[in-house]
Amino acid sequence: MPLIIITGLPSSGKSTRAQQLHAYLAERIAAVTPPNSPPKYRLHLISDQTQGISRAVYDLSPEHLPAHVRSANASEKDARAALYGAVKRVLSPRDIVVLDGMNYIKGWRYQLFCEAKNMSTPSAVLQIGCSVDRAREVNEARLARRAAAAPTLSPTETSRPTENSPSSTGTEETNPPPTQDPITTDNNNPPPPDDNDDEPYSPSNWTNLVFRYEEPNPMTRWDSPLFTLIWDDSPAQTRSTFAALWDVIAGAAAKPIRPNQ
């Protein structure tokens, strides 16, 4: 079953929508599973948080780059490799994968699209639409909360990790590593809220990510079908978008994909 790639600006509400989508899909899977049978599909939610990836890996600011770090985006490449591995491990005809993240590089979305195609399973993109100003407010509120919780740590000290300490953001003491399997969540146990979801981006990291964001283009194969949810979409509108998504990936409109298509 398919891969759903979530995309959107930093702090635009992606994880919130990903969790709503996860709950919706679990409901639909339960509805198509005969009584006393195992779930027809397995459901997975994969994100930076489930993989223990800090927001700081996206920080290319020279002032946050320790001298000995290999290159400006080495840690981001490592993070993408971890996410790719996690998707690849579970993607199969019986698995629906929701990949929650910025997924802001079109070449990366293309790579994911090819991976789904190799598995003969469909992919779709769900864009979380949010104004830049609103997304910035969310990040600033997170920075303020983080500063209030740890008065000795200034927001700009949420620096990128060093090579010896890949997630050294100053947050480990308050966010211990997850004790359960970090890769997947199953249908009956939606992901628990995680304090790490609240991790802010440093202001320069956030601004650079907005600048680097590559909007999905529904005219390309890898960004289609493209679904969009905006911040103010009501629960009814959200469910209707999720229903259209389900139809394309698992319902009446789902088409078998051949690798050479």
If one counts every other C-beta atom within 10 angstroms of the C-beta of residue 207, the result is 16
Q: In what order do the strands lie in the sheet with 226-230?
A: 42-47, 95-100, 3-8, 123-129, 226-230
Binding mask 52-81 for ligand ADP (x = CB under 6 A): ------------------------------
Total number of residues binding ligand ADP (CB under 6 A)? 10
Compute the distance between CA of residue 39 and CA of residue 27 in angstroms, rounded to an integer.
11
Identify the residue among 197, 203, 226, 228 touching ligand ADP (CB under 6 A).
197
CA atoms in the 13 A half-sphere facing the CB of 238: 18
If one counts every other C-beta atom within 10 angstroms of the C-beta of residue 237, the result is 12
Q: Does 138 bind ligand ADP (CB under 6 A)?
A: yes
Residue closer to ligand ADP by CB (options 54, 121) is 54
Identify the residue among 12, 169, 184, 196 touching ligand ADP (CB under 6 A).
12
Identify the residue among 231, 244, 254, 257 touching ligand ADP (CB under 6 A).
231
Q: Taking contact as CB under 6 A, which single stretch among the options 12-20, 21-29, 172-180, 183-191 is the one that binds ligand ADP?
A: 12-20
CB of 202 to ligand ADP, least distance (A): 14
Phi, psi of 211 (to 5 degrees): -65, -35
Compute the distance between CA of residue 124 and CA of residue 35 in angstroms, rounded to an integer.
29
Applying the rule CB under 6 A, the residues between 15 and 34 that interact with ligand ADP are 15-16
The number of residues making up the chain comes to 261
Residues contributing to the site for ligand ADP (CB under 6 A): 8, 11-16, 138, 197, 231
